[in-house]
Amino acid sequence: MDLSEIYEKGKKAIKERDIGFLLDGVETEFVMRNNRAVIDRFTFRQHCIDGTSPDTRCEVLGVELSTPVIMSAMTMPIPAIVDGGLMEVGQGLKAAGSLMWTGTPIPQDLKAIAKTGVPLAANVKPLIDRKKMFQALNEIQETGIRWVGIEIDSGQGTKVKDRQMASDCTPLSFSELKKIRKTVSLPLIFKGVLSKADAIKSVDAGADGIIISNHGAHTLDYLPHPFQVMDEIVEAVKGKIVVMVDGGFRRGSDVLKGLAFGASLIGLGRPILYGLAANRGDGVREVIDQITNELVRLMSMVGANGPGNVDRAVLID
Ligand X SMILES: Cc1cc2nc3c(=O)[nH]c(=O)nc-3n(C[C@H](O)[C@H](O)[C@H](O)COP(=O)(O)O)c2cc1C
- Residues near ligand X, by CB under 6 A: 22, 72-77, 103-104, 123, 151, 191, 213, 215-216, 218, 246-249, 268-270
Tell me how far, at minimum, the Cβ of 250 lies from ligand X, in Å.
8
Single-letter amino acid code for the residue at 219: T
> Which residues are marked as active site?
215
Nearer to ligand X among residue 25 and residue 303 (C-beta): 25
Q: Using CA atoms, how far apart are residues 174 and 214, in angstroms rounded to an integer?
A: 20
Helix (H), strand (E) at residue 267: strand 265-268
Q: Using CA atoms, how far apart are residues 156 and 170, in angstroms rounded to an integer?
A: 6
Tell me how far, at minimum, the Cβ of 179 lies from ligand X, in Å.
20
Nearer to ligand X among residue 77 and residue 303 (C-beta): 77
Among residues 82, 68, 76, the alpha carbon closest in space to that of 107 is found at 76
User: Sign of the C-alpha dihedral, residues 12, 18, 22, 27?
Assistant: positive
Nearer to ligand X among residue 105 and residue 117 (C-beta): 105
Nearer to ligand X among residue 85 and residue 103 (C-beta): 103
Tell me how far, at minimum, the Cβ of 52 lies from ligand X, in Å.
27
Among residues 81, 103, 146, the alpha carbon closest in space to that of 283 is found at 81
**Residue 220 burial by Cβ neighbours in a 10 Å radius (0-12, 13-18, 19+):** middle
Nearer to ligand X among residue 125 and residue 303 (C-beta): 125
Among residues 92, 47, 52, the alpha carbon closest in space to that of 70 is found at 92
Nearer to ligand X among residue 216 and residue 303 (C-beta): 216
DSSP 3-state assignment of 7? Answer: helix
Tell me how far, at minimum, the Cβ of 72 lies from ligand X, in Å.
3
Cα–Cα distances (Å) from 232 to 15, 84, 247, 262, in that order, read 38, 41, 18, 11
Tell me how far, at minimum, the Cβ of 51 lies from ligand X, in Å.
29
Q: Using CA atoms, how far apart are residues 92 and 167, in angstroms rounded to an integer?
A: 32
Q: Using CA atoms, how far apart are residues 207 and 184, in angstroms rounded to an integer?
A: 10
